[in-house]
Amino acid sequence: MPKIGLTDLSVRSLKEGLYFDTKTPAFGIRVGKNRKTWLVVKGDNRTKVRLGHYPELSLQDARRRALAALGTPLAAKTTLTFPEALELFLGQDRWKASSKYVLEHSLRWHFKWTRPLYKITHEDIAEVLDAIKGRSARAHALKDIRTFFNWCVPRYLSQSPAIGLKMPPYVPRERVLTDDEIARVWNAAESLGTYGKQVQCLILSGQRVNQILSLEPKWINAAEHLITFPASVMKSNREHTIVYGPMLANLLPHIAIRSMQGKKKRELDTLSGVTGWVLHDLRRVLASQWAALGVSLPTIEVYLGHRSHSFAGIVAVYQKHTWIPEMRQAVSLWEKKLQSLARSG
């Protein structure tokens, strides 16, 4: 790996490859076909930490992040800002794709400080949390910011400013959309482009939002009408296969990755006249509707990827039935009902 004196001029003219700086030896840049990525190598195991991309992140700022990541005297108490520390935190290779998406969205959406890391106080965090509507959302935000600040200690801080903040009591959601509400949401979604199609996919499949957002064509077996989600996008960290029917098949070619937007959800609520629900509630909708259609509890649990007492103990060890036939029957029943609801809505 070549070592060169990284300057603004030299960085602009670099060919593909990995280059390290002569001034800060563990700091370098990887030049690919389409982008240039700043990185730093740290620790005995030579872990590569991504710092950002050039030219969005300048050489000067990238070098400053590298020095902070290496724990030099230029650490957080003098220069490292919250956004810079957040980039280092999220740049680790430890995250599953699904976990990183949720964590990054939470931290960037709620916590927008730009000041030096050491100037963020207990009161600053409490103020942000108090402004978040919904106990569940506050609880998740607190958990995520705690995780971030725990990582900062002792790298850049001697103590986390999140110490002492308590998690709001968890209150499980119970919202279930009625048949009329399902019909109104489904029909309103028709006019909302890709977002609307994603919502319809959630109604049809009952899967988690990140699974639909992460959906890749290679996971789809069109011949068998199966989708196999890899463990990397599953909360259970296990591969998960579901059956899909003709209605979902018509939507799959139009699904774009990562386009769920809060303002679109508000538009959907306005168009449908259905409020007080979140996208995750659609899992409960499917479970309740399938139960009403006579689908067995084990089939529902397998389809949702949410195995509980039905698959505990010895059953979990020896029960290897795929439940594909049962899922096909349940999907057919559900699509027929949805078609009927959509026509009557």
In sequence order, what DSSP letters do the residues of 204-229 get, joined into one string?
Answer: HH---HHHHHT--GGGEETTTTEEEE
Q: How many CB atoms lie within 10 A of CB 31?
A: 17
Residue 2 to residue 145: CA distance in whole angstroms: 38
* Pairing assessment for the beta strands 3-4 and 17-21 based on DSSP bridges: parallel
Q: Which two tokens mark 269?
A: 């609520």
Ordered per-residue pLDDT tens for the chain, 345 residues:
688 888 888 898 899 999 998 877 789 999 999 999 999 998 777 888 899 999 998 888 888 888 877 775 444 445 688 998 998 899 888 877 777 888 999 999 999 999 988 889 999 999 999 998 877 788 889 999 999 999 998 888 888 999 988 876 666 778 899 999 999 999 999 999 999 999 999 999 999 988 998 889 999 999 999 999 998 888 888 899 999 999 999 999 877 655 556 688 999 999 999 999 999 999 999 999 999 999 999 999 999 997 654 555 444 444 557 789 999 999 999 999 999 999 986
Residue 3 to residue 1: CA distance in whole angstroms: 7
Minimal CA–CA distance to 85: which of 167, 19, 145, 11? 145
CATH 3.10.580.10 assigned to domain 1-74? The reply is no
**DSSP state, residue 165:** P
Residue 114 to residue 120: CA distance in whole angstroms: 10
| Cα within 13 Å of Cα(10), Cβ side | 12
- Say if CB 62 and CB 21 are below 8 A apart: no
Residue with tokens 């280059």: 19
Cis upstream peptide for 154 (omega within 30°): yes
So what's the architecture of 179-344 in CATH?
A: Orthogonal Bundle (1.10)
Residue 38 to residue 49: CA distance in whole angstroms: 9
**Total-model pTM:** 0.57
* CATH class entry, domain 75-171: mainly alpha
Which regions of 142-225 does DSSP assign to beta strands (E)?
Answer: 220-221
Q: What is the pLDDT of residue 76?
A: 42
Q: Where do the structural domains in the chain lie, given as residue ranges?
A: 1-74, 75-171, 179-344
- Say if CB 129 and CB 143 are below 8 A apart: no
Residue 264 contacts by C-beta under 8 Å, 6 or more apart in sequence?
Answer: 192, 195
Minimal CA–CA distance to 219: which of 210, 230, 208? 230
Minimal CA–CA distance to 139: which of 131, 129, 128? 129
